[in-house]
Structure 1
Amino acid sequence: MQIIVVTPAGKLYDEQVEYVVVASQLTGQFALMKNHTPIISSIDRGYIKMVKEDQNLVTVILNGVVEFSNNIVNVIAQEAHIGYTEQSAMEHLLTVRKERLDENKRRSIDFGKAEKELVENIQKAKASKV
Structure 2
Amino acid sequence: MSLQVSILTPERPFWNGQAEEIILPTETGEMGILKNHAPIITGLDVGAMLIRYKDQWNAFAIMGGFALVKQNVVTILANNALACETIDPEEANNALQTAKMSLEKAEGIKEKVEANFAYKRAKAIKSASAFYAKKG
Task: State the one-letter code of the partner of 2:25.
Answer: A
Higher relative contact order, chain-length normalized (CA < 8 Å, sep 6+): 2
SS of 1:8's partner is: coil
Task: State the one-letter code of the partner of 2:23.
Answer: V
- Structure with a larger share of its residues in strand: 1
* Paired residues, number: 90
User: Relative to structure 1, is the Cα distance of residues 87 and 52 closer, same or farther in structure 2, using a 3 angstrom cutoff?
Assistant: farther
Please give the alpha-carbon distance, in whole angstroms, between the structure 2 residues aligned to 1:7 and 1:61.
10
Q: How far did residue 44 of structure 1 move?
A: 2.5
Root-mean-square deviation (CA), in Å? 2.5
Please give the alpha-carbon distance, in whole angstroms, between the structure 1 residues aligned to 2:8 and 2:81.
8
| Structure index of larger Rg | 1
Match of 1:51 in 2: 52
SS of 2:79's partner is: strand
After TM superposition, the runs of 4+ consecutive aligned structure 1 residues lying more than 3 A away are none
SS of 1:74's partner is: strand
User: Relative to structure 1, is the Cα distance of residues 78 and 3 closer, same or farther in structure 2, using a 3 angstrom cutoff?
Assistant: same
**Residue 62 in structure 1 maps to residue 41 in structure 2:** no
Q: Taking structure 2 as the reference length, what is the TM-score of the superposition?
A: 0.59
Unaligned runs of 5+ in 2: 96-136
Deviation string 1:15-34 (CA, Å, 9 cap, x unpaired) is 0111101123x310111000
Match of 1:117 in 2: none
Match of 1:23 in 2: 25
Q: How far did residue 87 of structure 1 move?
A: 9.1
- Taking the TM superposition and a 5 Å limit, the aligned residue runs for 1:1-130 are 1-24=3-26, 26-83=27-84, 91=92
SS of 2:38's partner is: coil
User: Relative to structure 1, is the Cα distance of residues 74 and 87 closer, same or farther in structure 2, using a 3 angstrom cutoff?
Assistant: farther
Deviation string 1:47-106 (CA, Å, 9 cap, x unpaired) is 22100111111111112101100101100111101116x995x93xx7xxxxxxxxxxxx
Unaligned runs of 5+ in 1: 95-130
Identity of aligned residues (%): 26
User: Relative to structure 1, is the Cα distance of residues 60 and 17 closer, same or farther in structure 2, using a 3 angstrom cutoff?
Assistant: same
Match of 2:120 in 1: none
